[in-house]
Chain A
Amino acid sequence: MGKAIAALLGCILAVPALAEGYAPKVGERHAEFTLPDIQTGKPVSLSDFRGKKILLIQFASW
């Protein structure tokens, strides 16, 4: 697990400042979304994880 986290950190070389468009605000609820899981194709919603602390990472494999 530790190696996987390190690998993820390695993929994120720099985190740029948030620009316009997607604009989550501290203190407010994050917008709800439902997207397909890349493994199963089934819908997964942010609210499915209510009750957990989440680190949401938007990225790309390139």
Chain B
Amino acid sequence: MAQAVKEGKLLILGITQEQHPDRCRLLAQWKGFHWPILHDPINIMGAPVVPILVAIDEQGIVRDTKPRLATIETTFIRPAFTDATSSDEPPRLTPFLSPGQAHPDFDILHASAEKENLPRVWRALADALALWGGEKRVSAAIDAYTQASKLDPKDAVTLFRLGVCYRRRYDSVQRQAGDFQAAINLWSRAVNLDPNQYIWRRRVQQYGPRLDKPYSFYDWVNEAERVIAARGEKPVPLAVRPGGAEFAYPVKEFPAQARARSPDSEGKINRDKHGLIRAEVTVVPQGVRPGRATRIHVVLRPDAKQKAHWNNEAEPMRLWIDAPGGWQIDEPLLTWKAGKIAVTEEERSLDFEVKAPANAKGRIELRAYALYNVCDGGGRCWFLRLDIPIELQVREN
């Protein structure tokens, strides 16, 4: 097969079904994939699983839906396919954009959606915005999917794609509070409506607890970057680096709690009253079942309006989590390892897991706090504490 590709007798065309295309670019760089790879973050192809291989001949006719790489030379590459199917044009999975067209006409699509006010028309507009609107139109895509969902609340496809857009906005400069949680909740709802959707399920598991993971999602990234750099190349930069949850490996049992002591058990450290640092919490999944685990993401961001920034020259930032009775935490004390630069402004994401007791019910609150060294725009620096209440809702089995 390699020779056929080299000689131009076979073209490999890839479609990646993941949220972040730059991660696939890094994979392609690492593995030396030189064929075109397209990005389908909203799964407009309708692929219920990956990988899927399909052999398509020169006329666009499907010749094999389960080609075997060991025999593809004799079953597909060498034969000359002369029988033709009907001359009817095939259906278009992306009808809002024709081959050769640079971008959809969003105005026409929007006018059509407003006029017809049907869920499929709003979704068509949203799909076009999601695939071709870029970052600046992600809120418009969210609005359009939301309209579609209001008209057809049981449309799981719309819920999934709406979640993709919320996560995209979370990863952009247009982020709004709650975007990540909204994405998780929508993906969870979509999977509940259609549990056979492998790709949708993976989106939740990517950020979820180790007890629910099938494998580590992005454990290859560090090795890829190391190998590429050793070749003398610059690795593809990742706009959003995978976090702890995305590197984590699955486990069969909830790990024993790491031993640690609360660094400020008496609450003596001054509180961050001016909000120099803001915290955002996302719980994956948001509803935790009795006896099951959930992964909690805490992101801490310096307040740009006050020109707040981290002071990395003193003790490192720490996050402490108190669990109520019966609840288990894998790591109650997390420490952020800052680099060597004395002053930085990055957002800091820490995640950990909690396991609910078998008799858990209702709503409970974890008490957490962060300790950190922070300075404001006037050069005044403090060692402060931010209390972070984390609400968990126990789902019934």
> Which of A's residues lie within 8 Å of B, judged by CB?
1-9, 11-12, 15-22, 24-39, 43-62
B55 touching A28, Cβ below 8 Å: no
Provide the residues of chain B in CB contact with A36, threshold 8 Å. Answer: 21, 38-39, 131-132
CA distance A43 to B39 in the complex (A): 10
CA distance A47 to B102 in the complex (A): 15
B53 touching A57, Cβ below 8 Å: yes
A58 touching B45, Cβ below 8 Å: yes
A7, A38, A45, A58: the one within 8 Å of B51 (CB): A58
A56 touching B66, Cβ below 8 Å: no
Known: A29-B90, A47-B60, A56-B13. A5 touches B1 (CB 8 A): yes
Provide the residues of chain B in CB contact with A38, threshold 8 Å. Answer: 16, 21-22, 24-25, 28, 37-39
Total B residues in contact with A, Cβ cutoff 8 Å: 86
9 closest Cβ pairs, A-B complex: A29-B90, A7-B31, A45-B99, A35-B38, A4-B32, A62-B217, A21-B46, A61-B27, A2-B2
Provide the residues of chain B in CB contact with A58, threshold 8 Å. Answer: 14-17, 40, 45, 47, 50-52
A62 touching B90, Cβ below 8 Å: no
B54 touching A33, Cβ below 8 Å: no
A53 touching B60, Cβ below 8 Å: no
B39, B59, B69, B218: the one within 8 Å of A62 (CB): B218
B90 touching A53, Cβ below 8 Å: no
Provide the residues of chain B in CB contact with A1, threshold 8 Å. Answer: 2, 5-6, 34
CA distance A9 to B206 in the complex (A): 23
B98 at the interface (CB under 8 A from A): yes
A5, A19, A54: the one within 8 Å of B56 (CB): A54
B33 touching A7, Cβ below 8 Å: yes
A32 touching B92, Cβ below 8 Å: yes
CA distance A59 to B202 in the complex (A): 13
